Amino acid sequence: MGYMMLFPIFASLFLGVLAVPPEIDLMADSDIEGFNTNLFDPKYRLTEAVQPKQISVDLDVYLEEARFNGIVQLDVETIQPNLNQIALHQKVVSIQSVNIVDDQGRPVNLQFPNPFTTDDYYEILIINLASPIDLGNYSITIRYQGAINLNQFERGFYRGHYFLNNETRYYATTQFQPYYARMAFPCFDEPQFKSRFIISITRDSTLSPSYSNMAIETTTDV
Ligand SMILES: *[C@@H]1O[C@H](CO)[C@@H](O)[C@H](O)[C@H]1NC(C)=O
Ligand SMILES: *[C@@H]1O[C@H](CO)[C@@H](O)[C@H](O)[C@H]1NC(C)=O
C-alpha cells in the first residue's frame, strides 16, 4: 500500500520517518564553490526563448531500490517566434517520451526519428520540433526514470539516514541548489526562470510522514 500526495507549490521534498533532525549538512557552505565556473559558456545555459509558467511533477518513488519514475508537465510560453528546438536541463537516468500540445490541446509534431536528444555532458535535453512553432502557450510532458542518490553529497534527490535506538532509519529528500533540480526532473534549472509548482509523490505507506515547504493538499491511498 502507498499514499499519493499533492503539494500545491514546492521547493524541497522530504519523505521518510523523522524522529531526530537529519545529520549536519556538511556541504552547506560549499555550494558557492564552482557555481560560476560555467556561467559564460552558452553550452551549459538555456536561452530566454521559452518561459515556464507552471510545472507539475509526479514522482513514483521506490526508495529501497533507489529509483523513481517521473512525469513532468511543463506549461510554457514561447517568447521567440519560429522556434525549431526547445532546450531544457536534465540529468535523469533515461527519458522515455516527450510530447507537446498547444493551448488547444493539439499535438505539436516532433522530428522523426529523433524527437529529442540528450547531452549528458552539458546535462541538456533538446526537443526537436518537426517545423517551427508560432508564439504561444504549450504544454510539454516528459516521462522519465530517475535515480535516488545513495551518496547524499551528490545531492539532487537523495537518501539520507539517522539512528533511532541504534537502528538505522532512511529517508529521501532533496537539495536542488544550485543546479541539482535537473536530477529530479527535466526543467529550467537556472534561477532567472520562475514558475508555480504542483508536486505529487507516490511512496510507500511506511515512509510516513511527508514534508514540504507548503501544506499537503490531498493524500490518497493507492
Ligand atoms: C499565453 O497565455 C497567457 C495567459 O493566458 C496570455 O496572456 C498570453 O497572451 C499567451 N501567450 C501567447 C503568446 O499567446
Ligand atoms: C546502542 O548500542 C550500544 C553499543 O552496542 C549499546 O551500548 C547501547 O546500549 C545501545 N542502545 C540502545 C538504546 O539500544
pLDDT band (50, 70, 90) for residue 28: low
- What pTM value is reported for the model? 0.84
Quick one: average pLDDT of 143-161? Answer: 92
3-state helix, strand, coil in the chain (%, to 5): 5, 50, 40
Pocket test for ligand 2, best of 20, 166, 167, 169 (most atoms within 8 A of CB): 166
Grouping H, G, I as helix, E, B as strand and the rest as coil, residue 28 is: helix
Encode pLDDT of 70-109 as tens digits.
Answer: 999 999 999 999 999 999 999 999 999 999 999 999 999 9
Residues whose CB is less than 8 angstroms from the CB of residue 81 and which lie 6 or more positions away in sequence, other chains included: 132, 134, 135
- Judge contact between 147 and 182, C-beta under 8 A: no
Residue 159 is predicted with a pLDDT of 95
pLDDT band (50, 70, 90) for residue 153: confident
Residues whose CB is less than 8 angstroms from the CB of residue 87 and which lie 6 or more positions away in sequence, other chains included: 46, 47, 50, 124, 125, 126, 127
The CB of 168 under 6 Å from ligand 2? The reply is no
Going by alpha carbons, the residue nearest to atom 5 of ligand 1 is 137
φ/ψ region of 82 (left if φ > 0, alpha if ψ in -120 to 50, else beta) reads left
- Judge contact between 84 and 131, C-beta under 8 A: yes
Q: What residues form DSSP beta bridges with 95?
A: 144
Encode pLDDT of 173-205 as tens digits.
Answer: 999 988 999 999 999 999 999 999 999 999 999
pLDDT band (50, 70, 90) for residue 8: very low
The Cβ of residue 48 has, within 10 Å, a number of other Cβ atoms equal to 10
Q: What residues form DSSP beta bridges with 212?
A: 13
Pocket test for ligand 1, best of 137, 138, 139 (most atoms within 8 A of CB): 137
Percent of the chain with pLDDT over 90: 77
Residue 134 has pLDDT above 60, yes or no: yes
Q: How far apart are CA 52 and CA 110, in angstroms?
A: 20
Which domains occur in the chain, in start order? Answer: 2-33+50-221 (2.60.40.1730)
pLDDT band (50, 70, 90) for residue 154: confident
